Amino acid sequence: MKIAILGGGISGCALARMLAEDDHDVTVLEKSERVGGLCKSRQIDGFTFDEAGGHIIFSKDKDVLQWQLDRCGGEQNTQKTVRNTKIRWHDRWVPYPFENGVGHLTQAANVECMSGYIEAYVGRRTGAPCPENFGDWIQWRMGDGFARHFMVPYNNKIWKRDLTTMASDWVAGRVPEAPIEDILRSSIGVDTEGYKHQSVFWFPSHGGFEAMVKGTAKDGGFRLVCDARVDRVAKKGGGFEVNGEAFDLVVNTVPLPQIESVIEEIPADIRADIQALEPISLINVMIGVKLDEPLPDLSWIYLPFDDQGPTNRATYYSNYSKFNAPEGHGCFLAEVTHRGELRADDREWLQGVVDGLDRAGILRKEQVVLLEACNNEFAYIDQDLEFAARIARVRDWFDNSGYLTFGRFGRYEYHNSDQCVKRAMQVREHIRTAAASGDHAPLQLP
């Protein structure tokens, strides 16, 4: 088949490579000057930075992990790091996840967290129903102490909305429940580890996270057209037309609100649903520092409190690969979410970010030799209470329309790049079946 893929992020490039292996004639149309999307990196004055906050390679799926490492030129072209993440809790460094680090809090906070946790635990065991909103879910799952001391301030900082107006269903798979024995052990000072699936991670030695997408496009066997904004897609005859060129099949990976006006057949009610899918944006502040001693062996730090500045997560990015900073230097990424109100070129605001990190003990402001920032309009999915119903209608329309759509914002799934690759594998299977049978059944993704 002659197939057009809209968007050259990891989703589009991964699928293109897979379909080319199956001997399809594949074209990727990417609006910007190069592939990468949210996985892009950039080089400035000898430093390398990821553009959309710190990215790491890890996956619960061994095949996907291997596929991603292969695209980096094999594990030998990556750095493998044992994850060391902490929460900056007032003047303390508390291991992450917070519940596994509870023994590092003050005794008073430890007791508040544990008594609240036990109360919540008993509530759940005696049938307290899972709340539909995220604010109440935090109390139900973690109890009042954990909520007050970390979960509520941290999530307020990221989501920028009243947590009781957010849905809870999306957290279920993302926040695994730690065994209560682990939390009790942590509370009495015996360290335990949470999120074991992510205890080590990989990162390309050279070129930042983007190297993984570049390696996907290189010798991928498909036609890549950059600087090619897709501005007209429609069905024509038995196939499709994209920017005037005929194709047998169209797969979209572009954020739905950015492609909605371009696809002719979308009905008015589905258009309205897509227009209501507002993204949460992210300014990623890129900071180069001159060092008089190596950075501590940390991966990233969560910053829940307002006196730490607007940053919610600071990445020790030169620890991912020593080639991310010139000799004698280090670099950080500071992530700040917003809803369209911040500007990445506001120097005063950027200095405020640095001042916050200085107060939090992450860096010293006099060390800073480079300060830049990058805005990412589509970073997080706004999980309001209507989101699930709205996106279900949108996906249902696409899956039955003959168009295929997937990707973090192409399907609005809160996915990391490994899950985008997994989805690409599933879409490839769907296309294989369709090509073999000639029957275009609706797309069904698990």
Ligand X SMILES: Cc1cc2nc3c(=O)[nH]c(=O)nc-3n(C[C@H](O)[C@H](O)[C@H](O)COP(=O)(O)OP(=O)(O)OC[C@H]3O[C@@H](n4cnc5c(N)ncnc54)[C@H](O)[C@@H]3O)c2cc1C
* Contact between 147 and ligand X per CB under 6 A: no
Q: Which of residues 4, 26, 48, 55 is near ligand X by CB under 6 A?
A: 55
CA neighbours closer than 13 Å in the CB half-sphere of residue 390: 19
Is the Cβ–Cβ distance between 102 and 108 less than 8 Å? no
* Contact between 7 and ligand X per CB under 6 A: yes
Show the site string, 254-283: x = touches ligand X by CB under 6 A, - = not: x---xx----------------------x-
How close are the terminal C-alpha atoms of the chain, in Å?
Answer: 24
Pick out residues in 33-52 that bind ligand X (CB under 6 A): 37-39, 52
Q: Which of residues 3, 8, 113, 233 is near ligand X by CB under 6 A?
A: 8
Is the Cβ–Cβ distance between 168 and 134 less than 8 Å? yes
d(CA 372, CA 347) in angstroms, rounded, equals 9
Q: How far is the CB of 184 from ligand X (least distance, A)?
A: 30
Q: How far is the CB of 253 from ligand X (least distance, A)?
A: 5
d(CA 432, CA 439) in angstroms, rounded, equals 11
Pick out residues in 222-251 that bind ligand X (CB under 6 A): 229-230
Q: How far is the CB of 117 from ligand X (least distance, A)?
A: 28
Pick out residues in 326-385 that bind ligand X (CB under 6 A): 335, 378-379
* Contact between 310 and ligand X per CB under 6 A: no
d(CA 62, CA 67) in angstroms, rounded, equals 9
What is the per-residue DSSP string for 110-172? Answer: HHHHHHHHHHHHHHHHTTPPPPSBHHHHHHHHHHHHHIIIIIHHHHHHHH-S-GGGBBSGGGT
d(CA 57, CA 216) in angstroms, rounded, equals 14
Give the closest residue to 218 by CA, choosing from 376, 426, 28: 28
* Contact between 215 and ligand X per CB under 6 A: no
Q: Which of residues 249, 301, 420, 435 is near ligand X by CB under 6 A?
A: 420
Residues that bind ligand X (CB under 6 A): 6-12, 29-32, 37-39, 52-53, 55-56, 229-230, 253-254, 258-259, 282, 335, 378-379, 407-410, 415-418, 420
